[in-house]
Chain A
Amino acid sequence: MLTYTARRLGLGVAIILVAMAILFSMIYLIPGDPASVALGPKATPEMIAHLRERMGLDQPVWRQFVNFVGSTLRGDLGEEALSGRPVLTVVMEQLPFTLALVFCGILWSVALGVPLGCIAAVRRGGFVDRVIGVLSVAVIAVPSFVIAIYALLIFAVRLQWLPAIGAGEPGSIASQLKHLILPSLAVGLGWVGYIARMVRASMLETLEAGHIRTARAFGLPERWIVYTYALRIAILPTVTLLGVGIGHMLSSSVFAEIVFARPGIGKLVYEAISTRNYPVVTGAVLVTTTFFVFVNVLADLVIGLLDPRVRASFN
């Protein structure tokens, strides 16, 4: 297990480094001068040159990358050029909002997807299975921003049950949760379909397994067999899927954060790219990439822990 863990962690670090190198190369290939964009139309060429120097943009790209990696290892992601605020602070202010959104999105997808998948598997080939199948594919097919806009129009504008914009009153957990319902539904609904399909397929395979037949032969209640014995095994592929799903939901959060005017990492990066605010772009992407890799390593470790065959394959 130790070798397995070390390998997964090593791979995670390598992924982060490669992702940052690609990002760094990409943002310097994008046309547009961050100093001009930041200072606006009234800035003189001297001011622009001065800001470029302060941002380190007058140095070769390779040196900027080396400086970035060096300072990152020291825990310093740099400063925003104009406000002078530490990038780490800027990113960490926004991260909890995105994590809350993604976490609630996962809750939606698991809370709805797993039972639907189980029901579809148990009622295999029947009317309920077909309805769940159609619904699953339908929610996968509809883009999350479409769901976001319709949810907003129906529940916020038309019915006025839920708020349309913002993240809720600071310090009021009820208000913040209320502001999370629609955005997290928009982010998580598509994954209800994925998880339902995945759980159904996995359950069908598991329900044919020998130990399930044995349990049935012992006369255990079917509900007990399905939800206790079969689901425990069938859920494993879903854990892996959720690891990938978190990355996807982080991407979807951009739409949700813009449509619902919520703070968050997605909106922060979107705005930072528009304004060529490179320190914030690199800082935010580094944090989210690290988070994504961490979650996937964690998912791998959980599977390794649950399934000795996976551990054995690495040993």
Chain B
Amino acid sequence: MTKTRPNSFAVNRRQLFAGAGALGLSALVFPRGAGAATGGILRVRSYSDLQILDPAFMLAAPELDIMNCIYTKLVAPKAGDVWGWEPSAVESIEQLDPLTVAFKLKDQLGFTDGYGQLTADDVKFSIERIADPASESAYAGDWATLKEVEVKDTLSGLIHLNAPFAPLWTSTLPSSSGIIVSRKAVTELGGKITTKPVAQSGPYILKEWLPKQKTILVRNPDWKYEQGAYDEIHITPIEDEKTAELGFEAGDLDYTWTSVSSISRLKETPPPEATVVEKPSLAFVWMGLNKDVAPFDNPNIRRAVQYAIDTKAVVDAAYYGAAATSTGIIAPGLPGHRDACIYTYDPDKARELLAQEGAEGLTITLEILNKTERLTAAQVIQANLADVGITCEIKQHDSGTFWTLGSKDGDTWNKLQMYISRFSMQPDPSWATAWFTTEQVGIWNWERFSDAEFDELNAKGQVELDVAARDTIYKRMQDIMEESGQYVFLTHEVVGVEYRNSVVPALQPNAMPLLSDFKPA
């Protein structure tokens, strides 16, 4: 079903003249508003083009948006303002005990391209290939405690775990790691699906991928359950948010994320026949201090920096007043979210500590990604630090350079003093803390933060199923991070979304779209 068009621009002379004539007579004369009606087509923007459509090797969220439409999974994330899931490919699914999940598949689910019925064996294959270290899936950690998937019969099976796994229902089963692919199809492909999916099984199927131009999904004619509401979904990759906003205002898109800087303006004066909403994000932004590089090998200087930063001023300036400050790395609504930080803005205490350490007139470097909001945040931080007598130099990097600064394999980690970073998140607190363990030093833990209690709690939090107990664990972990003086928590950001009033979007609490659930108003 899938085809790529290597050269969709190829035209013959007759077409060229015909097109030029048509252009002259119609395109330039008639306003395009009349022709912009969407009909059965939903036009959405993604921030990048797809590179791979294999759930075991997914690279970016836009690929998940497509895979959520063209594949099925045992349970799917729910749209709304509260994180949750609902049964998808299953008639029933139940946690029998902390180590066992029983499932029974719906009986009319099938794969396209003649790959037959979707079976419990396909579930076993899909889950175990991600967990298998030999597959080299970056998502193996989502099935960290998997023992095996036992097939009971064609449609039923049991998922056996070696240890309880709290993220199972929040960020494993409803995410890409819960997607079911066809054993037969993937085996025939040599173990990896590329950009041409075969054996699709969702409410939509990928009809055509035009690289860097458009991905077209159409209704799956073999889908036996609730049909997708649109005949087609056209996904246009547009990296620049401002371009996407203009595309929306010009009537070329029905749904898009907006830039943070535009949220206030768009909310005040939304485009005609459109709605603009603001959603909290799960992502976290913070400033990290590398304790293995002077002067931050001195805990009092680290603390002085914590006291010196007015996080509200930083976030207000960087996010145009649209985002709130954070109290840690776990967003509101998740277990472990803290009510407040321990060390807040107090420049007098910062000066006092610096004087005590004889560190007046210090010069330090703050490294950032070359994004507008990071630069603005860095400039406010620079002003805050200048206020307490620290000279701060800002160094901007492109993404390719920035994301290697703290790597133990390079030679920049031992010069990296301070940096601003942002990690995206899944709706489970273990996703936030996993990157700051001792094991992660020089990988994603660039502060080189190391604490035995933190590591122990991180392991404990993954297997603790009691929500209240997890809440305590993750709050304590963020306390430890802050006590170390290596972290200044900034914000969880905010997401702006605009859509036509003719569309009823299905959005997760952090505005991640569930495209197959979008409906006409």
- Residues on A lying within 8 angstroms of B by beta carbon are 30-34, 36-47, 50, 80, 82-85, 89-90, 92-94, 96-97, 100, 152-153, 156-157, 159-167, 170-174, 176-178, 181, 258-261, 263-264, 267-268, 271, 273-276
Contacts and interface: CB of A to CB of B under 8 A. Distances in A.
Contact of B401 (A32, A43, A165): A32
Nearest to A95: B7
Contacts of B212: 93-94, 263-264, 267-268
**Among the interface residues B136, B212, B403, which one has the most CB atoms of the partner chain A within 10 A?**
B212
A177 B32 contact: no
Contacts of A174: 18-19, 22-23, 26-27
B52 A83 contact: yes
A85 B192 CA distance: 13
A178 B138 contact: no
Given A164-B247, A174-B22, A32 B400 contact: yes
Given A31-B401, A39-B138, A40-B59, 10 more contacts: A40-B138, A50-B136, A84-B194, A89-B6, A97-B9, A163-B252, A164-B243, A165-B252, A170-B8, A173-B22
B426 to A, nearest CB: 11
Contact of B246 (A90, A164, A172, A181): A164
Nearest to A264: B212
A157 to B, nearest CB: 5
Contact of B247 (A39, A47, A173, A261): A261
A34 B403 CA distance: 10
A83 B246 contact: no
Interface in B23-44: 23, 26-28, 31-33, 36
Contacts of A177: 19-20, 23, 27
Contacts of A31: 397, 400-401, 404, 410, 412
Contact of A156 (B23, B28, B250, B403): B250
Given A30-B400, A100-B9, A159-B31, A83 B250 contact: no
A36 B10 CA distance: 37
B195 A85 contact: yes
Contacts of A260: 243
Contacts of A97: 9
B89 to A, nearest CB: 24
Contact of A82 (B11, B15, B51): B51
A268 B213 CA distance: 11
Contacts of B57: 82
B250 A173 contact: no
A252 to B, nearest CB: 16
Contacts of B249: 157, 164
Nearest to A98: B9
A82 B423 CA distance: 22
A93 B59 contact: no
Given A43-B138, A50-B136, A263 B6 contact: no
A101 B214 CA distance: 18
B20 to A, nearest CB: 7
B6 A93 contact: yes
A276 B211 CA distance: 19
Nearest to B442: A45
A5 B501 CA distance: 63
A261 B435 CA distance: 34
Nearest to A84: B194
Interface of B: 4-11, 15-16, 18-20, 22-23, 26-28, 31-33, 36, 51-52, 57, 59-60, 136, 138-139, 141, 194-195, 208, 210-214, 236-240, 243-244, 246-247, 249-253, 397-404, 407, 409-410, 412, 423, 435, 443-444
30 contacts: A31-B397, A31-B400, A32-B404, A36-B403, A37-B403, A39-B59, A41-B435, A42-B139, A45-B443, A46-B136, A85-B195, A90-B211, A93-B7, A94-B211, A153-B246, A156-B246, A157-B250, A160-B31, A161-B28, A164-B247, A164-B250, A164-B252, A167-B9, A174-B23, A174-B26, A177-B19, A177-B27, A261-B244, A263-B212, A264-B212
**Among the interface residues A30, A172, A174, which one has the most CB atoms of the partner chain B within 10 A?**
A174
Nearest 10 A-B pairs (CB), nearest first?
Answer: A173-B19, A32-B400, A164-B250, A263-B212, A42-B138, A96-B9, A165-B247, A174-B22, A170-B8, A156-B250
Nearest to A49: B409
Contacts of A170: 5, 8, 208, 210, 213-214
A77 B28 CA distance: 41
B27 A178 contact: yes
Contact of B400 (A96, A181, A261, A274): A274
Nearest to A270: B239
A152 B136 contact: no
Contact of B239 (A46, A159, A258): A258
Given A37-B400, A176-B9, A163 B407 contact: no
A97 B213 CA distance: 10
A159 B401 CA distance: 41
A85 B194 contact: yes
Contact of B407 (A36, A39, A83): A36
B291 to A, nearest CB: 21
Contacts of B208: 170
Nearest to B25: A174
A160 B239 CA distance: 22
Given A41-B423, A46-B136, A174-B22, A258 B16 contact: no
Contacts of A80: 51
A268 B48 CA distance: 12
Contacts of B247: 164-166, 261
Given A36-B403, A173-B18, A261-B243, A165 B211 contact: no
Nearest to A31: B401
Contacts of A159: 31
Contact of A165 (B7, B27, B28, B253): B253
Contact of A176 (B4, B19, B407): B19
A165 B32 CA distance: 13
Contact of B236 (A90, A100, A166): A166
A166 B252 contact: yes
Contacts of B31: 159-161
Nearest to A257: B212
Contacts of B20: 177
A162 B28 CA distance: 8
B141 to A, nearest CB: 7
A311 to B, nearest CB: 33
Contacts of B399: 37, 274-275
A82 B59 contact: yes
